[in-house]
Amino acid sequence: MRGLDGKVAIVTGGATSIGAAIVRAFHGAGTKVAIADINREAGASLAAELGSRALFHPTNVAVDEQIVACVKAVVDRFGGLDFLVNNACIYIDHGLESSREEWLQSFNVNVVSGARFVREAAPQMRARGGGAIVNLSSIAARFGQAGRALYPACKAAILQLTRNEAMELAAHKIRVNSIAPGWTWSASIERATAGDRAKADRVGADYHPLGRIGDPEDVARAVMFLCSDEAAFITGVNLPVDGGHAMTGPDQGKPATWRLSQ
């Protein structure tokens, strides 16, 4: 895609899973990419594998000083910043039984950290004449689900935050969009299925009309599109990458007569 080669990106939570797929996609497109992650072993290993156009900067996204240090390190190393992907996330969620501490921790990492990264990254993008930011939301932002509260509330908040950021930064030619993945092969689903991808696809097919769960690379390709020149006139939108999950509704796309016959 046009407009990625030679640019500079930061991916939070970029050491593993979806984040690592995004890092690899940027690198494959010729972008210099920084991995901002608390996982030192995985982050350093990925950066070493990718070589001189990759940088690992140990970053706890819940600490402002570390966010500031990360952006500075990237600008010092690569000379500027063009793209930011706010992917870092925690999955603490005991539904309505969650403690105040858990609520605050979830919003701190899942929502506030991305906003703080934007605060530090935007001036660097303005200095380059513009840029693009992608925030990771989720299909969970749209649907009610018993037993969960923190994660869906955070992901819903990201949708509104994206719109606000897009409005504020449009004058500086900085585009801000979000992506809402469906079920995606990642550490949590791998643990739940004991590594059985076929089982994950089989169960996920009931909720995803395209008949499988997503791959991390599906999300990464969407990020590349939203950062590229191909999306130069797109800002403030949420792009579902969910195999059709968001369109199915409570009947999962099956006619009512099918439900009544079961």
Q: Which residues are catalytic?
A: 151
CA-closest candidate to residue 92, choices 80, 82, 104, 81: 104
Instruction: Specify whether the CB–CB gap between 37 and 47 falls below 8 A.
Output: no
SS3 state of residue 220:
helix
Instruction: Specify whether the CB–CB gap between 83 and 31 falls below 8 A.
Output: yes
Beta partners for 54? 33
State both tokens at 66: 């570390």
Instruction: Specify whether the CB–CB gap between 246 and 139 falls below 8 A.
Output: yes
State both tokens at 11: 């991916």
Round to whole Å and give the CA distance between 21 and 15: 9
